[in-house]
Amino acid sequence: MKRMMLLSAALSLVAGSAAAQSLPDLMKQMIAAWNKPTEPFRVIDNIYYVGTNGLASYLIATPQGHILIDTVMPESTAQIESSIGKLGFKVADIKYIINTHAHIDHTGGLAQIKQETGAQMVAGAKDVPLLEGGFYPGREEEKHLNFPPVKVDRAVREGDTVVLGGVTLTAHETPGHSPGCTSWTTDVKDGEAMRSVIFFCSATVALNRLVGRPTYPGIVDDYKKTYAWAKTVHPDIMLAPHPEMYGMADKRAKIAAGEPSPFVRPGEFNAYLDRLETQFNEGLAKQTAALQSGK
């Protein structure tokens, strides 16, 4: 919650003249929280959390090698690699690296792990220029948002799949947060039951400009398309790039207490997206009013 309050404070400054000076300082506070270490753990079936305390990274383990979804800040890549080892897996066995969206807090270790493993780098087609350039769209001059560029081996669009060791991940275009923001779905075993999982990209406004000089052309329509799509899917399990988005800490505590499958929460994803859509509409209204008033 504290991280979200800091983020809100940062975003409230973006439209003002002090944003270029204040945003880096606020980012430093958020980064310190994001980089705090945490122990890795099994989420469900063959899905493992290998991120930091504030940024998610997921390992999907298979007999034919592993899939890594997202990394964290550049300086915390070693935490991911250490966590993979603690779980008894090898970084060298990663065959695919998937990025949900091209922002520094989810891309920082992509280039390093790709170089170390030779894994195939997979991302949404419209995020390829950002990943290969290492910058935030519309804020190229803000160097504190840059990250190590990474060569994308495979650009995906709606319905494309990544298949490995009996696991099939399906790509879904959910743009807005970034132009090529891509969510992924799969199924896992939960005892005798099968559960649907979504690795949701994101749909927060974050640092994006929606009006005036938008972060990228068509951004508002993209967000609206993503919210409309979200109403059509109903996963049993929601996972996301920031653990507070799905209450990871509370659910993890229930695992430790021996409760069955606390991550199985049908309806959670849809309720969360409904809240995000409301926040988006409020943000759009505020940015529009500020533009009209000349602020």
d(CA 59, CA 49): 6
pLDDT of residue 295: 61
Task: Give 86's DSSP letter.
Answer: H
d(CA 248, CA 43): 10
Mean pLDDT by runs of 10 across the 295 residues of the chain is: 42 40 74 94 98 98 98 97 98 98 97 98 98 95 93 98 98 98 98 96 96 97 98 98 96 87 96 97 96 82
pLDDT of residue 27: 79
Give just the sign of the alpha carbon dihedral 177, 188, 166, 107. positive
Cβ 295 vs Cβ 15: under 8 Å: yes
Residues of 8-23 as b/e, b for ≥16 C-beta within 10 angstroms? eebbebbeeeebeebb
Token pair listed for 82:
């250490």
Task: Give 243's DSSP letter.
Answer: G
Other beta carbons less than 10 A from residue 250's beta carbon: 10
d(CA 274, CA 213): 26
- Considering the entire predicted model, what is its pTM? 0.92
pLDDT of residue 259: 81
Give just the sign of the alpha carbon dihedral 72, 74, 76, 78. positive
120 burial (CB, 10 Å; 0-12 / 13-18 / 19+) is: middle
